[in-house]
Structure 1
């Protein structure tokens, strides 16, 4: 631990597994007081073994619940939005319900948490918001990722809008755009693809390997810390060269 986030309070969504979990643990290891949330209470509780004692169930699709959680938590310095879902298929496989669900979880959830926590940041005159977007949809189109790509492009635009609106008031807002990261969600998609599914994902990576959630967590620490004080409104790509 180097205490890069010592004295800061962080709030993380979708923290039970994958990228959200890695970010919550990385924040805690750097000295932040972390409040982690997810809908999976069982896996969320395991974070206590990694220095994240404050955990709570939260459905980020519930505006009233998000507002109530913000009142419970109080002022924070760091907001990490990691909730998301990867919908598979083209426009022909995307129903209205699929579209609404993906935008509600992938985009509107961030609208909810930012709206809830931003007033406290503004009152304090400082804050770093980090949104998990994707290289797919922002920097490159991916096959069969129609609505997913649309939502992640929206996250990048939302990020720039927040950064622009509050740049003079001590608020920074950045996005992280990962490539293919080895997470439980990704491994489930690989398994669904059939034998050799994981190898198929690896074969797309110029570096010959998948990214790790810890590597995303390391970038999140930088964006949450004062080291990135001159950085806002940026979609930071971390994809092992996938978009080259």
Structure 2
């Protein structure tokens, strides 16, 4: 895997997607890490520098609002610093993130509660890939560690991935915008998502313990409603 501290040369479509909005010129100064495909990974030299990844947030003692109803208490962690992972491959990053989450689970008294981890990044940065790899490792290691514990169902997954793709606006909604061509070209920008639907999903998950969330059909190019079920357990 080849890593770079600057933006890779994008295609014309990617360039439009990455172009910062006119009212946010400071975005143009940001620099991203670009990761090439797995096929190039075999060409990595031993001299390759360590990959530094920040975890936000750190996890000190939880603080809760006393005014909330007891059954709806949600742990709130204050952010203090940003621990870093030193790794020479993305596999090591996935492993470290999974171990970090499992260590956090040990400090949670009520395993029936939900623990939500957000992963942010620009379009095409690999958010879904990172999330899926970490989720797979968390479920696998949890199962391995609790196979001999009869009080726990080790066959049940404890983690699931909820991609943001399902919260894209429909193509018909982009068509109805003032500049449909620009809207389609920049699909993936914050204003091409449905934040109210995302918030509703999180509220339902908090209040009811489970939720049906949308997925995304890349063949059709539109979201699929209620296609992902986040279980109560």
Shared fold per TM-score greater than 0.5: no
TM-score between the two structures when normalised by the length of structure 2 = 0.36
- Asked which structure has the greater RCO (Cα within 8 Å, sep 6+), the reply is 1
Choose 1 or 2 for highest CA Rg: 2
- Relative to its length, the structure with more helix (as a share) is 1
- Relative to its length, the structure with more strand (as a share) is 1
TM-score between the two structures when normalised by the length of structure 1 = 0.35
